[in-house]
Amino acid sequence: MLSILRLTLQRLGLGVLVLFVVSLIIFLGVELLPGDLCQAIQGQSATESTVAACRKDLGLDQSAPTRYVHWLQGIVKGDFGKSLANGRQISELISVRLQNTFFLAIVAAVIAVPLSLTLGILAALYRNSWFDRTINVFTLSSISFPEFFVAYILILVFSVKLGWFPSLSDVSPDTPFFERLYKVFLPALTLTLVVMAHMMRMTRAAIINLMASPYIEMAKFKGLSRGRIILHHALPNAWAPIVNVVALNLAYLIVGVVIVEVVFVYPGLGQLIVDSVQKRDIPVVQACSIIFAATYVVLNLTADILSIATNPRLLHPR
């Protein structure tokens, strides 16, 4: 147990280092974006004097290294600074949207993870049967279509034709929980369809892989039922790859939902980052990117720790 704790701390330290490097890359990347924030804000109506006034106002006339150091100091203190475009506190701007993004990701995960694990186990159990094939074809087709297409189809069926669910998921902080759940159903379903295939097929493959092992052979000779073999003997050893794939998909649910947010008009972080890139609102882009990077780091860390916890052999690498 102590070694797991040590390992966790070690990984956390590495994570912070990764985040630091990421922050540098983000800053450099944003610096390389063409165009100018003040030009972008004022669009066609920008004139030389108004642009100069705007640049001075926003501190854009300072050098890049100075701005980077200021920014990093701010982040350490938990202060992301102010949005250049509308002068609001970024932490305030992001917090609501981050909650929305997490809410949608959690709802999608709550549907997608158990569903794909169950389907994966069932597919392994009834390998090569009609059931297995149907599930495979269905999940592979849904992952093959672009997200916006899946979203439009769902809107057409459930919103325009049947009228069961709204096509606009315009939630706000004061939306009651169940109404919120109702409003995010279609985007969550879209995301479920998009991420399900990956998790389901990994579960199936990991279990089938183990089914050839000698200890499963032994269990078969003991006369155990197939279901019991899979659930009690194969699955515990299959967790490591499954957990990793689940973590990867959860990260995707948080950082990769821009298109779904646009189609369903869901006020999440993705929409904010797109708007901010278009408007050269650099502090907001940087803050969002750091949050996305942190999400990846934390989820991967969790996956690592979980897979080690389920497979003690990994604690003693040789």
Partner 1 sequence: MTDLKQLDLELRAGRLSRRDFLKAAALFGLSAAAPSVLLGNPAYAAAEPKKGGHLKIGTGHGSTSDSLDPASYENNCMQSAGKTIHNYLTQVDAKGQLGSELAETWEAADGAKKWTFKLRSGVEFHNGQKMTAKDVIASLKHHAGKDSKSGAKVIVDAIADMQADGDNTLVITLKEGNADLPYQLSDFHLAIMPADADGKVDAKAGVGCGYYKLKKFDPGVKTTVEKFPNHWNAGAVHLDSADFITIADVTARTNALTTGEIDVADRLDVKTLNLLARNKNVRVIETSGNAHYSMPMRCDTDPFKNNDVRLALKYAVDRPAMLETVLRGHGYIGNDHPIGRANRYLDKNLAQRAYDPEKAKFHLKKAGAEGLKVQLSTSDAAFAGAVDAAVLYKEQAAKAGIDVEIVREPSDGYWANVWMKKPFCFCYWGGRPTEDWAFSTAYAADAEWNDTAWKNEKFNQLLLQARSELDEAKRAAMYAEMQAILNDDGGTIIPIFNNYLTGVTDKVGTPEVIANDWDLDGQRAVLRWWKTA
* Residue 51 or 306 with smaller CB distance to partner 1: 51
Minimum CB distance to partner 1, residue 279 (Å): 4
Q: Is 42 in the site for partner 1 (CB under 8 A)?
A: yes
The widest CA-to-CA distance across the chain, in whole angstroms, is: 85
Which secondary structure element, helix H or strand E, spans residue 215, and what is its range? helix 214-221
Q: Is 43 in the site for partner 1 (CB under 8 A)?
A: yes
Minimum CB distance to partner 1, residue 260 (Å): 11
User: Residue 47: how many CA atoms within 13 Å on its side-chain side?
Assistant: 2
d(CA 1, CA 291): 30
Question: Which pair of tokens denotes residue 129?
Answer: 């049967």
Q: Is 190 in the site for partner 1 (CB under 8 A)?
A: no
Residue type, 43: G
Taking CB under 8 A as the criterion, the residue among 23, 27, 41, 107 binding partner 1 is 41
Short-list 188, 191, 194, 198, CA closest to 145: 194
Q: Is 132 in the site for partner 1 (CB under 8 A)?
A: no
d(CA 227, CA 125): 7
* Residue 42 or 209 with smaller CB distance to partner 1: 42
d(CA 17, CA 220): 48
Residues 264-283 that bind partner 1 (CB under 8 A): 264-265, 267, 271-272, 275-276, 278-279, 281
Given the rule CB under 8 A, which residues bind partner 1? 33-36, 39-50, 53-54, 56-57, 83, 85-87, 93, 152, 155, 159-160, 163, 166-168, 170, 172, 262-265, 267, 271-272, 275-276, 278-279, 281, 284
